[in-house]
Amino acid sequence: MLHGPNLNLLGLREPQHYGRDTLDDINRRLQEQAAAAGIELDALQSNAESVLIDRIHACLGDGTDLVIINPAAFTHTSVALRDALAGVKVPFIEVHLSNVHAREAFRHHSYFSDLAVGVICGLGAHGYELALAHAIKRLAQPA
């Protein structure tokens, strides 16, 4: 589970868009969901593009089956993060807390969506749990 920039501020940050759950709340629920399904979940938040890129590169050798990513503002800016996911060829699900399509025009374009297995946006923190539920199902029945 990769969380992009400023998501460490969840709980404080613009709750009208992002809700009141903290990143720890979200990660805790995801860890419980993963443990109940018998899968290992590694969660990382970074404000640095290079840290996220390096973690994606590490998927090449660490047995990662799938990535759930909220690229946050990098969604709309980062060719480098897109290229990392494309280069490693790891399947990924893109998640946004807010409905980016109902917000400013610059949030309507994503550098990730056309490569993603699927995209969830606008469902708040529940979107992460839905993405993980899909990942669990997919891992049990590989395509």
List, by residue number, the catalytic residues. 18, 96
Chain residues binding ligand DQA by CB under 6 A are 6, 70, 72-73, 75, 96-98, 100, 107
- Residue 97 in marked binding region: yes
Cβ closer to ligand DQA: 45 or 98?
A: 98
For residues 2 and 67, the answer to whether their CB atoms sit within 8 Å is: yes
- Residue 9 in marked binding region: no
Cβ closer to ligand DQA: 55 or 96?
A: 96
Cβ closer to ligand DQA: 97 or 135?
A: 97
**Min CB(25)–ligand DQA separation in Å:** 15
Query: ∠ CA(14), CA(52), CA(1), 5° rounding?
Result: 70
- Residue 76 in marked binding region: yes
**Min CB(38)–ligand DQA separation in Å:** 28
Going across the sheet that includes 44-45, the strands are 44-45, 2-3, 67-70, 92-96, 118-121
Q: What burial class does residue 104 get, using C-beta atoms within 10 Å of its C-beta: 0-12 exposed, 13-18 middle, 19+ buried? A: exposed
Q: How far apart are CA 85 and CA 95, in angstroms?
A: 15
Annotated binding site: which residue ranges? 70, 76, 83, 97-98, 107
